[in-house]
Structure 1
Amino acid sequence: MTTTILQIDSSARPGRSGAQPHGSHTRRLTARFIERYRQLDSATEVIYRDVGAEPPSPVSGAWVHAAFTPPAAREPWMKEALAQSDALIDELLAADIIVAGVPMYNFGPPAQFKAWLDNIVRVGRTFGFDRSRTGEPYWPLLAGAGKQLVILSSRGDFGYGPGQRLEGINHVEGSVRSVFRYLGVTEASGAAIEYDEFGDERLLRSIDDAESATDRLAEAISVARTTAGRRAA
């Protein structure tokens, strides 16, 4: 069973910390996850999308008009308006694991990552909608597909984790998980580097801890997928 990973980097910083001056911590973690997973499963396929370097176009009025027009009734300009969204959704649908590098920018995800989210949340493709449906008119279209989400983040301050001093203003992991749950991806995990703005030994310890956690995530997910594949065989 070949695993396909969609690796998304959204940091505005090019390069990786530890390799380039002022490089990105999240790029460092996403690359590490891929490296460790491939060590465990060399047949893994990776789809790479760098929305930090090449942000998707924001959703526009034309995009909304086209998305809510039935496919058979779409005019050529509508298809063009949705072409980028279609490409991004195709990548998402092809993936078993979504590894998202999402640094904290002003307590939330970068705008370029939010633009990616807005492009993949599409009626008829990743969620369903029917006003006449009994009960909830919305339903997820990715439910039951076995997809898993890994969020690898970084922040300048510290204490943004569950039960910690700044948990209430961390709108990164919670918001991203909410979007994916809406689409039907309910298995989510992650790791984060903190203390970036301090630049002292606490940052170094945080990097070590996050890298170890990233390795463990890759190992656990690989083992789980291998076990599931054997049961299905």
Structure 2
Amino acid sequence: MSKILVIHASPRGDRSHSRRLAEGFLSAWQARYPQAQVTRREVGRTLIPAVNEAFVAAAFHPEPEARSLSMQADLALSDQLVGELFDNDLLLISTPMYNFSVPSGLKAWVDQIVRLGLTFDHTLDNGVAQYTPLLQGKRALIVTSRGGFGFGPGAELEALNHADPWLRTALGFIGINDVTVVAAEGEESAERTFAVSVAEAEQRLLELAREFQMA
């Protein structure tokens, strides 16, 4: 039975295009796989703490089993978020592109789940760090909306897109390399332009709902 973790990053509710597109995909996916389990994690409308000095000290403690109670408390939310990643086979992230990147809540979530000894490890090879991802066999779907147009692969503004390419990098670093991106572009363009882009995204997501599962 597949289990999916849904991360919503938009601070908007019903007005969020990325959230609505992702929920449309999820409805179609659940209709096809009614026994699947869904876990939702809100990072756009609920505060995810930024990494601070106490978090870093606890996360990089040389003897994790000897962390103080205070350190354990500093990592409690991070441990929970990492646990959700391990407990689910599939990952669905919905996010707008804000100022060429992702909303701060999603950045904070990534900072909380990229954890030494939990989601990645490292060794020294002649003094140079070598990194090893610790997540295996998981798939991810990123559903994103962009106010502008032309930020996709091969498009004229691709170099300005530091949102979903960055997410690919961060997820790949911890071992999630099977990543699909579906984008709707042009909310700030002509109404017809955006409507066409949304319709294309909806169609692609319906197609993915038939195949987005674990092998």
TM-score normalized by the length of structure 2: 0.95
Aligned to 1:3: 2
Superposed CA deviations along residues 63-85 of structure 1, whole A, max 9, x for unmatched, are: 00000112211001100000010
User: Residues of 2 paired with 1:29 and 1:154: CA distance?
Assistant: 9
User: Residues of 2 paired with 1:195 and 1:94: CA distance?
Assistant: 36
Q: 1:28 to 1:133 in 2, by over 3 A?
A: farther
User: Residues of 1 paired with 2:78 and 2:132: CA distance?
Assistant: 20
Aligned to 2:211: 220
In structure 2, what residue type is equivalent to 1:150?
A: L
Verify: 1:27 aligned to 2:26, yes or no.
no
In structure 2, what residue type is equivalent to 1:36?
A: A
Q: Which moved more, 1:63-72 or 1:125-134?
A: 125-134
SS at match of 1:109: coil
Superposed CA deviations along residues 150-203 of structure 1, whole A, max 9, x for unmatched, are: 110001110111111110101111100001111011100021111111351111
The one of 16, 24, 36 equivalent to 1:44 is 36
Aligned to 1:74: 67
User: Residues of 1 paired with 2:30 and 2:190: CA distance?
Assistant: 31
User: Residues of 1 paired with 2:65 and 2:86: CA distance?
Assistant: 21
In structure 2, what residue type is equivalent to 1:131?
A: L
TM-superposed CA distance for 1:131, in Å, is 3.3
TM-superposed CA distance for 1:136, in Å, is 5.0
User: Residues of 2 paired with 1:220 and 1:203: CA distance?
Assistant: 26
Structure with bigger strand share is 2
TM-superposed CA distance for 1:40, in Å, is 1.0
The one of 143, 152, 157 equivalent to 2:143 is 152
User: Residues of 2 paired with 1:77 and 1:136: CA distance?
Assistant: 29
User: What is the correspondence of 1:58-97 to structure 2 with a 5 Å cutoff?
Assistant: 58-69=50-61, 70-97=63-90
In structure 1, what residue type is equivalent to 2:186?
A: Y
Q: Structure 1 unaligned segments of length 5 or more: list them.
A: 16-22, 229-233
Q: Structure 2 unaligned segments of length 5 or more: list them.
A: none
Contact 1:55 1:113 in 2 (8 A): no
Aligned to 1:231: none
Verify: 1:196 aligned to 2:195, yes or no.
no
TM-superposed CA distance for 1:220, in Å, is 2.0
Aligned to 2:95: 102
Contact 2:149 2:189 in 1 (8 A): no
Q: Which runs of 4+ in 1 moved over 4 A?
A: 132-136
% identical aligned pairs = 37
